[in-house]
Structure 1
Amino acid sequence: MNHNEASALKKPSAVTFVQVLMYFTAVINVVNGFLSFGSTGLFKKTLCIAMILVGCAAVYVAARLNKPSESNRRAAIVLSGILIAFRIVEFAVWYDIGFLMGMILPVFVIWRLNRSEARSWFR
């Protein structure tokens, strides 16, 4: 294996950064889900369960980013889009600005995965 092949196999820092953000997002979702589960109403409890499930999905997607596959990159972008929509729904239900602030992480994930450094590694 020559130097060019070895450097092509090395995961870019942008991908590692995205993985860290995805894991952080997962922790936030799971913790928020458990903390908000005491809310009254069936819709709010269902939303809390969905928060926990989306957090688990974020862990799975972040773990898949270790392999350079275009489908893994697309899965992370789709999940980030779902997270953005989910944060808007959470804000509409609980009227907590913290949920809207949680949209920053998925936006960073999409931004970093669309950079040329990350795109070239996933191809």
Structure 2
Amino acid sequence: MIQELMANSKKPAVVTFTQILIYLNAIVNIGNGIYSLGSEGIVKITLSIAMIILGIAAIWVATRLNTPIASRLRSAIVLSCILIVLRLIEFTVWHSFGLLLGTVLPILVIWRLNSMESKKWFGLY
């Protein structure tokens, strides 16, 4: 069934662009997480580990977007919301404006996944 869906439909550019944004977000999360592991304090170390775990989860979610199943679209949107919340928590702990700029990628992901073109491909319209 899934292979029939993949054979009968060509992935739109919106979904490919979204995958690229999620991969970039994963690189940023994993990089920041590894960089921040040397910080002092249990809260900062816990956030660093969370960044790494969510970066790995982002890679997994982006890879799953290759197949047009509605639950995969929803999981990408949920992960993006979680990443926005994580960035806001990071901002309150580290007080770095650069971390707040990291919310741009997940916001773009949510915006592009809510487009009509991607919803059609995932079978929501």
Q: 1:36-47 to 2 correspondence within 5 Å?
A: 36-47=36-47
Shift in Å, 1:52? 0.1
Identity %: 52
TM-score under structure 2 length normalisation: 0.92
Matched pairs, number: 119
- Corresponding residue of 1:29: 29
CA RMSD of aligned residues (A): 1.5
State the AA in 1 paired with 2:110: I
Aligned to 1:10, the other structure's residue is in SS state coil
Shift in Å, 1:43? 1.1
Runs (4+) off by over 4 Å: 5-8
- Corresponding residue of 1:118: 118
State the AA in 2 paired with 1:45: I
Structure 2 Cα separation of the partners of residues 107 and 31 of structure 1: 20
TM-score under structure 1 length normalisation: 0.93
Q: Which runs of 5+ in 1 are unaligned?
A: none
Shift in Å, 1:14? 0.3
Q: 1:1-123 to 2 correspondence within 5 Å?
A: 9-123=9-123
